Amino acid sequence: MPIATVNPATGWTELTFEPLGAEEIEERLRRAAAAFDRYRTTGFADRADLLRRAADLLDEDTPDIALTMTSEMGKPVKAARAEAAKCAKTMRWYAEHAEALLADERPDDGDVRDSGASRAYVRYRPLGAVLAVMPWNFPLWQVVRFAAPALMAGNVGLLKHASNVPQTALYLEDLFLRAGFDEGCFQTLLVGSGAIEGILRDPRVAAATLTGSEGAGRSVAAIAGDEIKKTVLELGGSDPFVVMPSADVDAAARTAVTARTQNAGQSCIAAKRFVVHADVYDAFLERFAAGMRELTVGDPTDDATDVGPLASEQGRADLEELVDDAVRRGATAVCGGGRPKDLERGFYYEPTVLTGITPEMRIHQEETFGPVATVYRVADLEEAVSVANDTSFGLSSNAWTTDPAEQERFVRDLRAGGVYFNGMTASHPAFPFGGVKRSGYGRELSGHGIKEFCNATTVWHGA
């Protein structure tokens, strides 16, 4: 895949980039190792000052970098501005909280004495250079939610970004340099996927984090496992959105529209499968489909646009295959189901609601990365839990109910990394983020995320 900006709204290639050669990769690995030797000894206060400066610069740059993201992957510009703001917020959050999150842990005094020590504690120390293999769908956020905690912990970063967002990738390296981080603390590697193995196997790379497809996760995890290097994987998702009779159906339907179509539906944590109790099924479906029809699809640089194009022609083709397979096997497109007739150029797809989904349809098990929702009718709580869990993924989940007993049941039985009640899944720096099953392992954000790439070191002093 070429490293290029292909505008999804037009299909035109705007810029292309030459991938780094072997000598250039070697130089960047050398810089990373040298930078880590210096940076790992800096204090939290110095790191926090640098990260706050990066956040301030990002605030200033937001109008321009938002347009860059829009031109590279089609995100509506108002959503791109919101993404940049979220990144700045997360940088400031880690600048404020990292020292406390990584403070020395003191065991119980009795356990210390029992071990024969006069004192003992656990200290969190950085690992080194961490390779981040990142996707295009949230081209700033996916990187910053790794970079902010990693840098505050004293690690350095090597970014292999998706090949269709090279300008955003280069911007991130420049941002950290302008903020005052040493050369080598955060570097962008413009390379194809074929270069990842050699970089990950290099002894100067300590660990890796990947957000992306299940196939990419398998590949990186296998290489890292062979090298005995730590990995964190955030892979696909097919999140359920369960609606029970006690729910506010109007609010649930309104939220469902946003939950399914944010970023044109190209989000791992977007709700994708809507599991609705029979008592409220008809009312929910009517309101949900009406809301999907009302969305404005079009020019992503226009603030009035709700849904922009998909990021690539191949992505749209993959989505069309899933929908066509479902309809051919008996599903009904309540709304949408094809390309907008008034948008001849670009990679657009209509917001779509499908009913009558059965297990033999591909869309029942595969992730839909676009504005397509599947709606299931269920008879009771037992069936709701069963359908919600009937997926190989387990990233997050949503449940609409005001019944405390039902809420406890969902917390107990939904197999996912998060359970969100009467709202939609959203990430926040204070809460851990990640999945189970084929959605990956490890956690990003919060104290759990910052400790993923740390050496939990036992320090023991004899009596």
Residue 14 is among the residues annotated as catalytic for this protein: no
- CA distances 40 to 50, 98, 101, 129, 201, Å, are 14, 14, 17, 10, 22
- CA distances 75 to 58, 81, 132, 163, 229, Å, are 18, 10, 22, 16, 34
Residue 320 is among the residues annotated as catalytic for this protein: no
C-alpha span between 300 and 449 (Å, rounded)? 32
What 23-31 contacts at long range (C-beta under 8 Å, 24+ apart), as own/partner pairs, is 25/189, 25/191, 25/195, 25/198, 25/199, 28/158, 28/184, 28/187, 28/189, 29/129, 29/158, 29/199, 29/202, 29/204, 29/205, 30/204, 31/183, 31/184, 31/187
E strand spans, 55-144: 117-126, 129-133
* 87, 185, 268, 335: the active-site residue: 268
Dihedral of CA 183/184/186/188: which sign?
A: positive
- Helices of type H across 329-380: 362-365
List b or e across 98-125, with b for residues whose CB sees 16 or more CB atoms inside 10 angstroms.
beebbeeeebeeeebeeeebeebbeebe
* 234, 367, 406, 444: the active-site residue: 234
Q: Which residues are catalytic?
A: 234, 268
